[in-house]
């Protein structure tokens, strides 16, 4: 049974989530504080974490950092009353996979949970390559490490996912909407320029010429000319 850990200090919201997710067939555990969340995640590693940012004992971002530092890699969806783009980007940079702003519709949360759980179950069946290489850029998928000309480049989880998406299909044009869906799991444009922001990070780290903008259509990983 898929196990979801809810980290939420407001009992009313936790009860609502527990009931809804239980009804949808998930095994749910609830942590009312950051410390409890870390202990529960250690005792029984969850398949997905719903993380409130405003906790009484520590910031949700600190919980996320410590989860990741402990080697836990389940998808994390942030549930936050904060709506600033800065918070959003900080959350995604900090290793979260998605975020929803309170108040949210349960059906939408459920859809995002399913979307986030899908890749993990597919990964085993998928005969994915372990390395993506488009000289001089090399991505090692198992270890999530990136190299340019043999030198390691630090990419955030989101930057890595974006690079991986583009490099998997060199020459294919991805629209902003497609990238939002494939990399961020959004089915709509939240009205931020998050795709452009991350593309600029990647261009800076991997080389500006690797990612082409195709006017009016989107972006693509540059295919090396056949003569190279």
CB of 62 to Ca ion, least distance (A): 14
Nearest residue to Ca ion by CB is: 54
Helix (H, G, I), strand (E, B) or coil at 46: coil
Integer distance in angstroms from the first to the last C-alpha of the chain? 50
Give the E-state strand segments of 66-200 in sequence order.
Answer: 76-80, 98-101, 131-134, 137-140, 145-148, 151-153
Between 52 and 159, CB nearer to Ca ion: 52
Between 3 and 82, CB nearer to Ca ion: 82
CB of 55 to Ca ion, least distance (A): 6
Distance (Å, whole) CA 75 – CA 50 = 9
In what helix (H) or strand (E) does residue 213 lie, and over which residues does it extend? strand 211-214
Q: In whole angstroms, what separates CA 167 from the centre of its chain?
A: 17
By CB under 5 A, name the binding residues for Ca ion. 9, 52, 54
Query: What residues does 4 pair with on adjacent strands?
Result: 28, 48
Between 54 and 177, CB nearer to Ca ion: 54
Residue 180 near residue 199 (C-beta atoms within 8 A): no
Between 52 and 97, CB nearer to Ca ion: 52
Residue 10 near residue 30 (C-beta atoms within 8 A): no
Between 11 and 108, CB nearer to Ca ion: 11
Structure tokens at 112: 């995002």
CB of 9 to Ca ion, least distance (A): 5
CB of 31 to Ca ion, least distance (A): 12
CB of 109 to Ca ion, least distance (A): 16
């Amino acid at each position: 049974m898929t196990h979801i850990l809810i980290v939420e200090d407001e009992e009313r919201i936790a009860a609502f989530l527990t009931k809804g997710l239980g009804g949808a067939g998930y095994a749910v555990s609830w942590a009312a504080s950051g410390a409890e969340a870390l202990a529960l995640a250690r005792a029984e590693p969850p398949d997905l974490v719903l993380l409130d940012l405003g906790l009484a004992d520590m910031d949700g971002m600190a919980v996320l950092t410590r989860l990741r530092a402990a080697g836990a890699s389940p998808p994390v969806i942030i549930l936050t009353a904060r709506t600033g783009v800065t918070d959003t980007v900080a959350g995604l940079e900090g290793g979260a996979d998605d975020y929803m702003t309170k108040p949210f519709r349960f059906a939408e949360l459920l859809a995002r949970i399913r979307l986030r759980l899908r890749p993990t179950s597919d990964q085993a069946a998928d005969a994915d390559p372990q390395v993506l290489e488009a000289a001089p850029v090399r991505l090692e998928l198992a270890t999530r490490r990136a190299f340019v000309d043999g030198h390691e480049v630090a990419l955030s989880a989101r930057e890595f996912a974006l690079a991986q998406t583009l490099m998997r299909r060199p020459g294919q044009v991805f629209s902003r909407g497609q990238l939002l869906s494939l990399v961020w799991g959004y089915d709509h444009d939240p009205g931020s320029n998050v795709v452009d922001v991350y593309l600029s990070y990647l261009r800076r780290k991997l080389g500006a010429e690797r990612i082409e903008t195709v006017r009016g259509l989107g972006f693509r990983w540059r295919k090396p000319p056949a003569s190279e």
